[in-house]
Structure 1
Amino acid sequence: MRFYRPERWEKVPEAVSSIPGVWGHMLTFLGGPRACIGYRFSLVVMKALLFTLVRAFEMELAVPVLDVVMKRGIVSRPALASDSKGGNQLPLLLRPSDVVQS
């Protein structure tokens, strides 16, 4: 028996959109009294992972600053003026940080 089936998330039922919660519509954590007990733990883990990654790398724009424009919609997103059909993008150069990890 196969437990992990990612294809089951391709077509989510319409009734799911009325489920409360931050990511309730994805059926991962749900909301209300039967919400996933690991929800808050997973948020802490993701924050710790993000902190570790941001601290381990130095980030620098790979394009001139003037080439980055804001694409406005429901949410503002970065895009390149030189590649308007490229969609949302923000090219970065990543280098290992010189900060000594303790």
Structure 2
Amino acid sequence: MAETAEEIKARKERERDELYALDISGVEWHSAPGTEEHEERVEIAYLPEGAVAMRSSLDPDTVLRYTEAEWRAFVLGARDGEFDLEPVAHSGEPQAEAGQ
């Protein structure tokens, strides 16, 4: 039997609470190859059950945590160009690309 919307919401809240309750003080943080320690970079750490933590090297105390399903959806979306940003002018309007 399929979960109701309320059951899905309750399950997701429970998963989030469990994920943020994990002690991650000893995790190993990874960043893209070729980045230097002093450079700004995104760092990730692998958590139990396929979950992932993500932070900025400039703000290591602020950590976002994702379930395996959330991380998978993010990675697939990024690979598919879902998060590609349009160049934005100072006015907040998208800039026309050169030659258009």
Structure index of larger Rg: 1
Question: Normalising by structure 2, what TM-score?
Answer: 0.32
Q: Which has the higher contact order (CA 8 A, sep 6+)?
A: 1
Looking at secondary structure, tell me which structure has more helix per residue.
1
Question: Normalising by structure 1, what TM-score?
Answer: 0.32
